[in-house]
């Protein structure tokens, strides 16, 4: 009697697990199948099969020396706002000081923090002043002027896989082909 009850429990558990796996597979297929572009379908499939959870490095601007100080309040607030806007997980925050003025936004800042090979793959995000995105990876670089030059606060963050897949579903664009 106990064996029969145990067998039923095992069968029910296996059935529930099989249903959950089928739901996940159908969800991924739906996201890929209804996606308007093959590029984004390939990005979604590659991210689903081989998730990238590592920190993608961004270099400090030239002449900027890393310090152990806390980021200024304004920088922390911008980073937190971007984290909330894109539903990101914080990976690392770095603060550095430079004796020169560092560009505070746009292509000039992107040129400072990404090397030549990386620049074409990092896009400016749609929200915010200083947020750059490459697949699921985000870099928020906030530059503030100080009395002796600039303070640069760089935060690396990552987006959850499902949020990234949802982003691809709604924001597919041919320019994203450089991410492949």
pLDDT recorded at residue 82: 92
Percent of the chain with pLDDT over 70: 91
- Is residue 57 scored above 80 in pLDDT? no
Average pLDDT, the chain: 84
Strands 65-67 and 149-159: unpaired
DSSP state of 178: G
Dihedral angle, C-alpha 79, 85, 89, 91, nearest 10 °: -30
Strands 65-67 and 137-146: unpaired
Q: What is the pLDDT of residues 84-95, one digit of tens each?
A: 998 999 999 999
Q: For the residues 130-157, what does the mean pLDDT come to?
A: 91
pLDDT recorded at residue 159: 92
pLDDT tier at 7 (50, 70, 90 boundaries)?
A: confident
Higher pLDDT, 127 or 153: 153
- Rounded Cα distance, 108 and 136, in Å: 23
């Amino acid at each position: 009697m106990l064996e029969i009850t145990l067998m039923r429990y095992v069968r029910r558990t296996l059935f529930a697990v099989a249903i959950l796996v089928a739901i996940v597979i159908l969800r991924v297929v739906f996201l890929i199948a209804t996606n308007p572009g093959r590029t984004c379908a390939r990005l979604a499939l590659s991210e689903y099969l081989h998730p990238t959870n590592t920190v993608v490095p961004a270099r400090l601007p030239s002449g900027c020396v890393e310090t152990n100080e806390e980021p200024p309040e304004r920088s922390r607030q911008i980073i937190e706002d971007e984290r909330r806007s894109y539903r990101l997980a914080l990976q690392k925050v770095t603060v550095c000081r430079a004796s020169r003025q560092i560009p505070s936004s746009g292509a000039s800042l992107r040129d400072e923090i990404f090397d030549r090979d990386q620049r074409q793959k990092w896009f400016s995000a749609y929200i915010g002043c200083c947020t750059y995105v490459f697949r699921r990876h985000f870099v928020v670089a906030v530059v503030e002027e100080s009395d002796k030059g600039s303070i640069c606060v760089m935060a690396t963050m990552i987006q959850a896989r499902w949020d990234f897949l949802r982003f691809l579903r709604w924001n597919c664009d041919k320019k994203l082909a450089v991410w492949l």
